[in-house]
Structure 1
Amino acid sequence: MIRNKGLTTFLFLFIMVILLGVTFLLEDSYLWLSFGVVFLGIFLFLVRFERRKVEPRELVLLAVLASIAAVGRIPFASLPSVQPTTFVIMMSGFVFGAESGFIIGAVAALASNMILGQGPWTPWQMAAWGLVGLTAGWLRNTKILTSKTGRIIFGMAWGYLFGWIMNLWGFLSIVQSGSPFEWKAFIVYLIGSATFDTMHAVSNIFFLLLFGEVWIKILSRFKRKYGLLN
């Protein structure tokens, strides 16, 4: 069972990478590619519950958390890279698991961009935020996330990793077709966004310090009381 689940996850990530690559070839179809990433996430979610019935209230919970993560971007739109979205996705993946975390992250990116603006960057944001929830779920029973210090380090790391993933898209989008990938130019490109990535990392730390324990208690209580996403 564990082996099959690992194979499914690998295939899912492999297909997601292909979809992101196709974004460069079919820029006018980025919205369909975004939905493709969401559908893959839903498929992975259903595989998680293949041996039991998925209750509507569990789907509602995922939708609510994704909505909170999406709406959280809007009040902070004027502050570059400062938002609680990453925090909400991380907490959701930590409490409810990797598959749920990925779906919440991917849907939050797509939904928030309906207001802030869609573009070829949307699938990359969906993948990046989805991976935040996915990795939080994978590591939730390890020493990395079971301690407050570990969660802070995790949040800080994803402040930079998220930026690097988006920088990869930005850099590849300006590289001429057929040109070799220049690492020196890419490193300079990364350094140029270091300030924004640092602001993202600091905002993650801020929300984790201020609301981390409270969110874990509330979400865990819902999970225990109503038997959600066990």
Structure 2
Amino acid sequence: MSTPAPAPNRAPVSLPRSRPLRIGPRAAAALVLVSLIGLAAFGWPLLADRQSGFAHSHDAPWLFAALLPLLVGVVVATIADDGMDAKAVAMLGVLAAVGAALRPLGAGTGGLEPMFFLMVLSGRVLGPGFGFVLGAVTMFASALLTGGVGPWMPFQMLAMGWFSLGAGLLPGPDRIRGRAELAMLALYGFLGSFAYGTIMNLQGWVILQGMGQGISFHPGDPVPANLARFLSYCLATSVGWDLGRAALTVVLTLTLGATLLKALRRATRKAAFDAPVAFDPGPDPPASLPPKGVRVGTEGEIRASWR
């Protein structure tokens, strides 16, 4: 009775862990450049004199023309740093489509925008670089879907990109998990919703005139005086709207966050974006096989070949 050959030794296979897509040096440089241009675009009217054309409707086309290639640059830089592959780009498209479809559900209803909680959770799972591109692309797609294209759109893209990027910069899941993680994300969504509304107010406030001396923008005035008027403007016009957005983000994060986090992490783990590729050579060939390149034939064929 022959003894069966022992099974070949194989190294244990470990499943890829779900972790955010990393930001390489190229992607980080592109993100810093985009953010600096965005900060300059939002804040330059505060430093302009009375004779300058400070209306954001004039600079929005230039900002949009600069923003799109820079967003493409962030994606290309991330791909070049081996942080994003075709599967990650496909997930980016799916999440952007879902976010764009969610936005019209609450548009015009007390600031209720359900897309914000999706941006928080996506940035949390997939990282700050992916989150920034997702936020900007989602806002662009939703503007096309709802007919919201205007001078405010590039500013919305930047603000939403920063909102999603911030979720990716929160302490990692290896440090905070479970209910503590959901509480952290809900708090970030609450504060980030107000921050988004405040920075978007800055975009529209400088072009609105005749609202009263206490809340109107005065070009050329000292920055502290204009900032005091801006705070009064926000308290008088948008606190209720921002509160509705923040409250809905908190409620959706606490009720649906655990399920969606699990689904996103499972999809990320299945995709294995940054898993190294290795090939198993398999078991060694039996010693009885002839060397590579030697022809094997029957005894008759061998005799015939020598004749």
Q: TM-score range by the shorter chain?
A: 0.7 to 0.9
What are the superposed Cα offsets for residues 159-193 of structure 1, whole Å, 9 maximum, x if unpaired? 11111111111222233543444233111111021
Amino acid at match of 2:220: G
2:269 is aligned with 1:224? yes
2:43 is aligned with 1:12? no
Find the counterpart in structure 1 of residue 72 from structure 2.
Answer: 42
Find the counterpart in structure 1 of residue 5 from structure 2.
Answer: none
- Provide the rounded CA distance (Å) in 1 between the counterparts of 2:218 and 2:274: 45
- Provide the rounded CA distance (Å) in 2 between the counterparts of 1:54 and 1:208: 26
- Provide the rounded CA distance (Å) in 1 between the counterparts of 2:101 and 2:86: 22
Measured at CA, do residues 2 and 39 of structure 1 come closer, stay the same or move farther in structure 2, by a change above 3 Å? closer
Looking at both structures, which has the greater relative contact order when contacts are Cα pairs under 8 Å and sequence separation is at least 6?
Answer: 2
Find the counterpart in structure 2 of residue 69 from structure 1.
Answer: 99
Amino acid at match of 1:77: A
In the alignment, structure 2 segments of 5+ residues that lack a partner are 1-22, 46-53, 209-216, 276-307
SS of residue paired to 1:79: coil
Measured at CA, do residues 15 and 25 of structure 1 come closer, stay the same or move farther in structure 2, by a change above 3 Å? same
What are the superposed Cα offsets for residues 10-59 of structure 1, whole Å, 9 maximum, x if unpaired? 33311333455689567256356335324323322332332438432321
Measured at CA, do residues 9 and 55 of structure 1 come closer, stay the same or move farther in structure 2, by a change above 3 Å? closer
- Provide the rounded CA distance (Å) in 1 between the counterparts of 2:55 and 2:123: 32
What are the superposed Cα offsets for residues 44-79 of structure 1, whole Å, 9 maximum, x if unpaired? 233233243843232121011111111111121231
2:241 is aligned with 1:207? no
Find the counterpart in structure 2 of residue 81 from structure 1.
Answer: 111
- Provide the rounded CA distance (Å) in 1 between the counterparts of 2:267 and 2:55: 43
SS of residue paired to 2:151: coil
Shift of 1:101: 0.5
Amino acid at match of 2:141: A
Matches within 5 A, 1:100-111: 100-111=130-141
- Provide the rounded CA distance (Å) in 1 between the counterparts of 2:77 and 2:219: 38
Shift of 1:93: 0.8
- Of all paired residues, the percent bearing the same amino acid is 27
SS of residue paired to 1:73: helix
Find the counterpart in structure 1 of residue 4 from structure 2.
Answer: none
Between Structure 1 and Structure 2, how many residues are aligned? 230
Find the counterpart in structure 1 of residue 288 from structure 2.
Answer: none
Amino acid at match of 1:210: T
- Provide the rounded CA distance (Å) in 2 between the counterparts of 1:191 and 1:214: 35
Find the counterpart in structure 2 of residue 137 from structure 1.
Answer: 168
- Provide the rounded CA distance (Å) in 1 between the counterparts of 2:263 and 2:158: 27
Find the counterpart in structure 2 of residue 90 from structure 1.
Answer: 120
- Provide the rounded CA distance (Å) in 2 between the counterparts of 1:75 and 1:30: 27
2:219 is aligned with 1:185? no
Amino acid at match of 1:163: G
Of Structure 1 and Structure 2, the greater helix share is in 1
> Which of the residues 123, 147, 155 maps onto 2:154?
123
SS of residue paired to 2:248: helix
Measured at CA, do residues 78 and 16 of structure 1 come closer, stay the same or move farther in structure 2, by a change above 3 Å? closer
Measured at CA, do residues 125 and 26 of structure 1 come closer, stay the same or move farther in structure 2, by a change above 3 Å? closer
SS of residue paired to 1:10: helix
In the alignment, structure 1 segments of 5+ residues that lack a partner are none
Query: Do the aligned residues in 1 keep the contact of 2:26 with 2:78 (CA within 8 Å)?
Result: no
- Provide the rounded CA distance (Å) in 1 between the counterparts of 2:274 and 2:121: 14
Task: Give the structure-1-normalised TM-score.
Answer: 0.86
- Provide the rounded CA distance (Å) in 2 between the counterparts of 1:60 and 1:110: 17
Find the counterpart in structure 1 of residue 295 from structure 2.
Answer: none
- Provide the rounded CA distance (Å) in 2 between the counterparts of 1:216 and 1:16: 30
> Which of the residues 172, 175, 188 maps onto 2:206?
172
State the superposition RMSD in angstroms: 2.8
SS of residue paired to 1:37: helix
